[in-house]
Structure 1
Amino acid sequence: MTLDTVKHASDTPEVEQPWAELGLKRDEYDRIREILGRRPTGAELAMYSVMWSEHCSYKSSKVHLKQFGEKAPESDALLVGIGENAGVVDVGQGYAVTFKVESHNHPSYIEPYQGAATGVGGIVRDILAMGARPVAVMDPLRFGAPDHPDTKRVLPGVVAGIGGYGNCLGLPNIGGEVVFDPCYQGNPLVNALCVGVMRHEDIHLAKASGTGNKVILYGARTGGDGIGGVSVLASETFDETGPAKRPAVQVGDPFQEKLLIECTLEVFKENLVVGIQDLGGAGLSCATSELASAGSGGMRIDLDTVPLRDSTLSPEEILMSESQERMCAIVEPDKVDRFLEICEKWDVIATVIGEVTDGDRLEIYWHGEQIVDVPPRTVAHEGPVYHRPYARPEWQDALQADDANRLPRPSSGAELREQVLRLVSSPNQASKAWITDQYDRYVLGNTVLAQPEDSGMIRIDEETGLGVAVATDGNGRYAKLDPYTGAQLALAESYRNVATTGAKPLAVTDCLNFGSPEDPGAMWQFAEACRGLADACQVLGTPVTGGNVSLYNQTGDTAIHPTPVVGVLGVIDDVSRRTPMAFSEEGQLIYLLGDTREELGGSAWSQVIHDHLGGMPPKVDLERERLLAEILISASRDGMIDAAHDLSDGGLIQALTESCLKGGKGARLIVPEELDAFVFLFSESAGRAIVSVPRSEELRFTDMCGVRGLPATRIGVVDGDAIEVQGQFSIPLAELREAHETTIPALLSDGLA
């Protein structure tokens, strides 16, 4: 192949180039020519194609994402916000915590094990690049119908990839979700979150500054895996037979990543790095252009010095490769030798591949010939911005008018009992232990709470007990009914889950999973969800620190439910005072906090019993969510409650079942006079939680709720070995446990064969 150098590109403007095959539109290609004043070289075309992809440039979502900055609430805790590898918040005592959630959806459908494994690896490197030690991961997952053959292909591979990579890294997996719905058939959602800890002074940013400073590529050798992954896979709608193009999915090596983590933390400790960037989506194209764009000068790279696994790779392929376990550091010349020594100590390959220049161009050479000469900002930060047309779907009114509150209801205690058992044994409400038991939740010894608790919790400081809690939530059924409210409900639930354990919510990360941006209906869902989330974050005082957008989650004309996954991070001064979900002491009083209304739209009951989706989702009262959180945090800190569990999918009976089974204690309930038994058990009204209160604390607790204006209704007592609803039914815990714990193994265990 003839090498396209910069001079040759200037001299041959008429040469046809494969811009469409690389995912570019005609007007995008024309704009590249306008920026450069000539046609791009092959290497430049490769760089622009991956960096201007939907996945990297956010070209369809930028106009809506800007609300997260424009409406951001004031926050004393926010140290680093949107725009870096991950957000950073102050959690006190000189500690900072960084966290972020991203997607690896399409690669995980193509190659479940490696797609999921490299999703974990990529988000861990984002956290590492901020200067933090990664301390925990979480995985919100969505799959198609649980009995579909392809779910049995995808799910076991995804779970094995998450467990295999995370367990080998020695990082506890402390939470997440597993949701089944036919809408995710062919478009599973594999989102990955990582949390890292550092001191304030250890924060690092992705920028290349200082003329003459060296650019060092270190970690694994560059291979042919994942070439074009972000521009082709993540920016393409699948047809019914799968993706039209199947670039190789990245291949992960967790042991190499573990060495990379320890090596990087040591060079941080010795203050050897000016700027740093991980190599994830778009590989070297991303790392070099973003570092140069965010820095104070230009950059020169000698691409032929990059260590390769495959000597036949072309320059374009090297620039586009998404080989894993690689980092790019900017190092002062007099510190290079020490940097390389540390890399050698950890058996990490490290190579000086270039240097920071005093110009304003990113220049890349191949065996002495210039193959790239571009303004780096045009590659990294000045890609296309689309104002995609969006419109409320014609079917939205009919969907909302199909009110779930009108569905047939149980008319006797026996029917109620039967529907309770059907609910708690349904795939979405059943125990996910078969999945989560494949993850190590306690490695490193600092895990305080892990799934199935409301939020995962990690101890940060052994001496004081300082810790952080993280939860992720998102209900695509709610968002399908009303994306504005659905996004707010996702935030409210995650916020509530953090507060339920006793931690104070501080900040948000999000992973916005939607259909094709070229579909005005899907784009309307996205716009509404962004608006809803930004408005809610403003009220709750929790700024968005960063996250990810995943579009084109669509098979043919059928999109997934709009699925905004929201992660909330909170801080707790002493993890020994956290509140678990399990009822553990007989005789304690069970209180229901919040108001219960007849709200069944998008509910688990309507799905399980009637296979129905319609009506309106539960109403959101963000001020009530704030009040509930304050009560839960105060009660936890002051020892007024022994257990707490938020009410969400499945309503009161689902939460009660989980708290009873976790603690091995039954409960006797009385239906409040103002409610009928059905609404009491199955309503999914937001802003609610159940707590168990020691009798000695009842007066203090109810006085606190009364003074602050939070409804607190005594609904029963922890007692016996059954859940008994007075005047309606009784179900022994053994029968509930059998229903709750056998569903997932029965559906999925044969998928491992």
Structure 2
Amino acid sequence: MTLDTVKHATETPDIDQPWAELGLKQDEYERVREILGRRPTGAELAMYSVMWSEHCSYKSSKVHLKQFGEKAPQSDALLVGIGENAGVVDVGQGYAVTFKVESHNHPSYVEPYQGAATGVGGIVRDIIAMGARPIAVVDPLRFGAADHPDTKRVLPGVVSGIGGYGNCLGLPNIGGETVFDACYQGNPLVNAGAIGVMRHEDIHLAKASGSGNKVILYGARTGGDGIGGASILASETFDEAKPSKRPAVQVGDPFQEKLLIECTLEAFAEKLVVGIQDLGAAGLSCATSELASNGSGGMRVELDDVPLRDSTLSPEEILMSESQERMCAVVEPSKVERFLAICEKWDVTATVIGEVTDGDRLEIFWHGEMIVDVDPRTVAHDGPVYERPYARPAWQDALQADDANKLARPADADELRAQVLQLVSSPNQASKSWITGQYDHFVQGNTVLAQPEDSGMIRIDEDTNLGVAIATDGNGRFTKLDPYTGAQLALAEAYRNVAATGAKPLAVSDCLNFGSPEDPAVMWQFAEAIRGLADGCLEMGTPVTGGNVSLYNQTGEAAIHPTPVVAVLGVIDDISRRTPIAFADEGHLIYLLGDTKEELGGSAWSQVVHDHLGGLPPAVDLDREKLLAEILISASRDGMVDAAHDLSDGGLIQALVESCLRGGKGARIVVPDGVDPFVLLFSESAGRAIVAVPRSEELRFNDMCGARGLPATRIGVIDGTEIDIQGQFSIPLSELKVAHEETIPAILA
């Protein structure tokens, strides 16, 4: 075997290379040369450029993300934490659940359908790679102004892509949210989450160990989609005649992914796999370098053996391709034949492309020449680490001083009623059934709760009724007003949503969406949000198991609102004791749990009625959040409540409308003495929920709340066919239904 390409790189140090076009800074390129002791080959340059990118290396965020490890709470449930494809938690009875949230923001703006579809496909493969069977997906989404023409281009494509891919996989979509704000106009946020279940002994990790073990690439053939800037690396001479018009966004095939899932799980069941890695961002560059660097030796790869669907691809393009539905497995030689037979059974293309070596190098060959000779750790783990400058922006004080509590309030009961209808019919508070109706919630038959419930819930054991719940939340408006508090409010809301359904919160995954890290104001927002989330998770006892950072979400100089999306996973021993949001039983009493304060900064009311963003977000009391969660979980388990709904966007009136419409029953609400009806209805104070208590359970419920010190105020009763705020106004459910349900279809018609 000759060493012509690597040797040529050694002998020609002065050849110009397109490092800048590939996104490397000059000092980064010089660092690559220093590591190698020579200039990189074209293939090596391609690998370093993508693996050292912001998306793959977290080079601007690492210094802050380490807080999730440094401040991690002690957790008996955590089985696999940060650093693997997805986190894994123990949910009891020998079951482990893996979950993760990631972003596919930029591709979804360029090509909404495929961008969103392949976002679902990628997160599902992360779950498979842990050894789990995927059981559900969730999708937190953010779009520009609802009435903007481009939203009508992006949103239907994204929703269709999510539904099309997930429905074909047979995975229920059980949660997420859809938010509209002009700040996301040029940068929609398409975050995708997935959950998988396995037995403890079935957990798999991404590592290549055992000299002589074979590296098998299986799944779809490799094409030219998703290469991006690497397509200019056509050859050492960068031939301008080389075909380069390749799709920038990956193209997904959910039917191929379904075969990949079944094939992989059967191989796991027969104990054929030593290590495994899905091919997502950076394709083979990532899979080979990460498997090798996490293992005990090196790796040798024959790139000629990679099955292609485009014979014109250069080796650099093969290494960079992000073609979907592909995975890499490390298999002992004696088990290769059986592994390949399983792949053939499922009609999955599989090829041995290399083997684990007893050295410490990643060596890749093409047409008999060595084109890559690197220490894999330098590619996968030893990229640049930046301590970007950050500073509280000069405008932050003025933003917080612009107090939303001073905005003009309704002058009388008629105006209060009109503003309620204005709120519940606004795009963010209106029903999202036009969107969620395109997703299959109940495929597989184990969905217990799905949108618009507070959290999605899935049964994972039919005999014992063991289940898990997941909620995703984030409020960019709150986080812009105060990034530290905003991140904790996202955590608190997701935690509260899980508890409201009766599940005990266990762990967190996150998707951190921010603007350019080169802007000190954005980096301050990022640093503060990380600090807030890490401190909050420590106090709540919910470790961060992994997640994703998405930066450069901005158009020109205008960044999106800082948007940390937090996913909380919880466990429920018996899904038959779950609590829905619906007010379904007349005569049940409505209790408001928690304290209501005059907190309107960043509220839905301030946005809808006044188009205003300013002041401070609601205060966070994490001890109160934990107490509220304990009450909600206990009340659910012991049959003391028949419905529960957290209070968040839109405050009490929004929660009442949703619970009443969901159950088809009205409510009579009495405003407590000395309480401003406007504040009661529209405040967004955290740490609150409403519950429906059967009269037979009222004494027991009050005793529990009183003994634990949680404020519980009886504010009404489920009754009739309207929401009657006594002494103020009433609105028939029929009128609320029209206002709530017709907004989104009308906008997108």
Q: TM-score, normalised by structure 2?
A: 0.97
Mapped to 1, the partners of 2:6 and 2:414 lie a distance apart of 78
Mapped to 2, the partners of 1:185 and 1:743 lie a distance apart of 19
Mapped to 1, the partners of 2:246 and 2:316 lie a distance apart of 18
Equivalent residue for 1:376? 376
Mapped to 1, the partners of 2:200 and 2:106 lie a distance apart of 36
Written as runs of structure 1 = structure 2, the 5 A alignment for 1:618-629 is 618-629=618-629
Deviation string 1:16-67 (CA, Å, 9 cap, x unpaired) is 0000000000000000000000000000000000000000000000000000
Mapped to 2, the partners of 1:638 and 1:201 lie a distance apart of 33
Aligned partner of residue 724 in structure 1, secondary structure: strand
Return 5+ residue gaps in structure 2 as ranges. Answer: 233-244
Equivalent residue for 1:609? 609
Mapped to 2, the partners of 1:375 and 1:554 lie a distance apart of 35
Equivalent residue for 2:573? 573
Mapped to 2, the partners of 1:231 and 1:101 lie a distance apart of 29
Equivalent residue for 2:180? 180
Q: TM-score, normalised by structure 1?
A: 0.97
Correspondence 1:207 to 2:207? yes
Aligned partner of residue 389 in structure 2, secondary structure: coil
Task: Return the offset for 1:672.
Answer: 1.1
Is the 8 Å Cα contact of residues 50 and 231 (structure 1) preserved in structure 2? no
Aligned partner of residue 626 in structure 2, secondary structure: helix
Equivalent residue for 1:241? none
Mapped to 1, the partners of 2:53 and 2:198 lie a distance apart of 32
Is the 8 Å Cα contact of residues 300 and 363 (structure 2) preserved in structure 1? yes
Mapped to 2, the partners of 1:562 and 1:455 lie a distance apart of 23
Task: Return the offset for 1:136.
Answer: 0.1
Written as runs of structure 1 = structure 2, the 5 A alignment for 1:217-256 is 217-228=217-228, 248-256=248-256
Deviation string 1:128-158 (CA, Å, 9 cap, x unpaired) is 0000000000000000001111100000000
Task: Return the offset for 1:412.
Answer: 1.0
Letter of the 1:118 counterpart:
T
Written as runs of structure 1 = structure 2, the 5 A alignment for 1:245-324 is 248-324=248-324
Aligned partner of residue 579 in structure 2, secondary structure: coil
Is the 8 Å Cα contact of residues 53 and 230 (structure 1) preserved in structure 2? no
Task: Return the offset for 1:368.
Answer: 1.1
Deviation string 1:86-119 (CA, Å, 9 cap, x unpaired) is 0000000000000000000000000000000000
Mapped to 1, the partners of 2:267 and 2:606 lie a distance apart of 55
Letter of the 2:494 counterpart:
S
Correspondence 1:633 to 2:633? yes
Task: Return the offset for 1:319.
Answer: 0.2
Aligned partner of residue 400 in structure 1, secondary structure: helix
Letter of the 1:478 counterpart:
F
Mapped to 2, the partners of 1:533 and 1:26 lie a distance apart of 34
Mapped to 2, the partners of 1:128 and 1:451 lie a distance apart of 24
Correspondence 1:101 to 2:71? no
Letter of the 1:193 counterpart:
G
Is the 8 Å Cα contact of residues 225 and 249 (structure 1) preserved in structure 2? yes
Deviation string 1:722-748 (CA, Å, 9 cap, x unpaired) is 000010000000000000000000001
Letter of the 1:723 counterpart:
I
Mapped to 2, the partners of 1:6 and 1:354 lie a distance apart of 19
Aligned partner of residue 531 in structure 2, secondary structure: helix
Equivalent residue for 2:117? 117
Equivalent residue for 1:479? 479
Task: Return the offset for 1:4.
Answer: 7.5
Mapped to 2, the partners of 1:100 and 1:69 lie a distance apart of 17
Equivalent residue for 2:588? 588
Is the 8 Å Cα contact of residues 229 and 322 (structure 1) preserved in structure 2? no
Letter of the 2:183 counterpart:
C
Is the 8 Å Cα contact of residues 143 and 188 (structure 2) preserved in structure 1? yes
Is the 8 Å Cα contact of residues 56 and 230 (structure 1) preserved in structure 2? no
Mapped to 1, the partners of 2:513 and 2:674 lie a distance apart of 39
Task: Return the offset for 1:367.
Answer: 1.4
Equivalent residue for 1:708? 708
Equivalent residue for 1:83? 83
Mapped to 1, the partners of 2:97 and 2:87 lie a distance apart of 8
Is the 8 Å Cα contact of residues 4 and 42 (structure 1) preserved in structure 2? no
Task: Return the offset for 1:674.
Answer: 3.3
Letter of the 1:265 counterpart:
L
Equivalent residue for 2:688? 688
Aligned partner of residue 168 in structure 2, secondary structure: helix
Mapped to 2, the partners of 1:433 and 1:682 lie a distance apart of 23
Aligned partner of residue 5 in structure 1, secondary structure: helix
Task: Return the offset for 1:421.
Answer: 0.2
Equivalent residue for 2:351? 351
Aligned partner of residue 323 in structure 1, secondary structure: coil
Deviation string 1:411-463 (CA, Å, 9 cap, x unpaired) is 21111100000000000000000000000000000000000000000000000
Aligned partner of residue 83 in structure 2, secondary structure: coil
Aligned partner of residue 378 in structure 2, secondary structure: helix
Is the 8 Å Cα contact of residues 13 and 39 (structure 1) preserved in structure 2? yes
**What root-mean-square deviation, in Å, do the aligned CA atoms of Structure 1 and Structure 2 show?**
1.1
Task: Return the offset for 1:229.
Answer: 7.3
Mapped to 2, the partners of 1:581 and 1:368 lie a distance apart of 64
Is the 8 Å Cα contact of residues 298 and 359 (structure 1) preserved in structure 2? yes
Return 5+ residue gaps in structure 1 as ranges. Answer: 233-244
Task: Return the offset for 1:465.
Answer: 0.2
Equivalent residue for 2:14? 14
Equivalent residue for 2:367? 367
Mapped to 2, the partners of 1:495 and 1:618 lie a distance apart of 16
Cα gap change, 1:319 to 1:137, in 2 (>3 Å):
same
Task: Return the offset for 1:246.
Answer: 9.3
Is the 8 Å Cα contact of residues 46 and 230 (structure 2) preserved in structure 1? no
Letter of the 2:503 counterpart:
A
Mapped to 1, the partners of 2:228 and 2:56 lie a distance apart of 12
Mapped to 1, the partners of 2:15 and 2:653 lie a distance apart of 67
Mapped to 2, the partners of 1:448 and 1:702 lie a distance apart of 28
Letter of the 2:120 counterpart:
V
Equivalent residue for 2:237? none
Cα gap change, 1:278 to 1:230, in 2 (>3 Å):
farther
Aligned partner of residue 392 in structure 1, secondary structure: coil
Correspondence 1:429 to 2:429? yes
Mapped to 1, the partners of 2:91 and 2:303 lie a distance apart of 41
Aligned partner of residue 108 in structure 2, secondary structure: helix
Mapped to 1, the partners of 2:676 and 2:525 lie a distance apart of 35
Cα gap change, 1:585 to 1:230, in 2 (>3 Å):
farther
Deviation string 1:255-287 (CA, Å, 9 cap, x unpaired) is 000000000000000000000000000000000
Aligned partner of residue 164 in structure 2, secondary structure: helix
Aligned partner of residue 439 in structure 2, secondary structure: coil
Mapped to 2, the partners of 1:672 and 1:703 lie a distance apart of 20
Equivalent residue for 1:517? 517
Equivalent residue for 2:534? 534
Cα gap change, 1:141 to 1:458, in 2 (>3 Å):
same
Mapped to 2, the partners of 1:229 and 1:486 lie a distance apart of 36
Is the 8 Å Cα contact of residues 141 and 176 (structure 1) preserved in structure 2? yes
Deviation string 1:171-213 (CA, Å, 9 cap, x unpaired) is 0000100000000001000000000000000000000000000
The percent of aligned pairs where both chains have the same amino acid is 85
Equivalent residue for 1:126? 126
Aligned partner of residue 644 in structure 1, secondary structure: strand
Mapped to 2, the partners of 1:642 and 1:655 lie a distance apart of 15
Task: Return the offset for 1:626.
Answer: 0.2
Mapped to 1, the partners of 2:700 and 2:280 lie a distance apart of 52
Mapped to 2, the partners of 1:604 and 1:349 lie a distance apart of 51
Mapped to 2, the partners of 1:533 and 1:615 lie a distance apart of 21
Mapped to 2, the partners of 1:230 and 1:17 lie a distance apart of 12
Aligned partner of residue 716 in structure 1, secondary structure: strand
Mapped to 1, the partners of 2:6 and 2:499 lie a distance apart of 57
Equivalent residue for 1:239? none
Written as runs of structure 1 = structure 2, the 5 A alignment for 1:312-461 is 312-461=312-461
Mapped to 2, the partners of 1:612 and 1:231 lie a distance apart of 45
Equivalent residue for 1:469? 469
Is the 8 Å Cα contact of residues 101 and 194 (structure 1) preserved in structure 2? yes
Deviation string 1:640-669 (CA, Å, 9 cap, x unpaired) is 000000000000000000000000000000
Task: Return the offset for 1:228.
Answer: 3.4
Mapped to 1, the partners of 2:356 and 2:6 lie a distance apart of 20
Equivalent residue for 1:734? 734
Written as runs of structure 1 = structure 2, the 5 A alignment for 1:632-651 is 632-651=632-651
Cα gap change, 1:246 to 1:393, in 2 (>3 Å):
farther
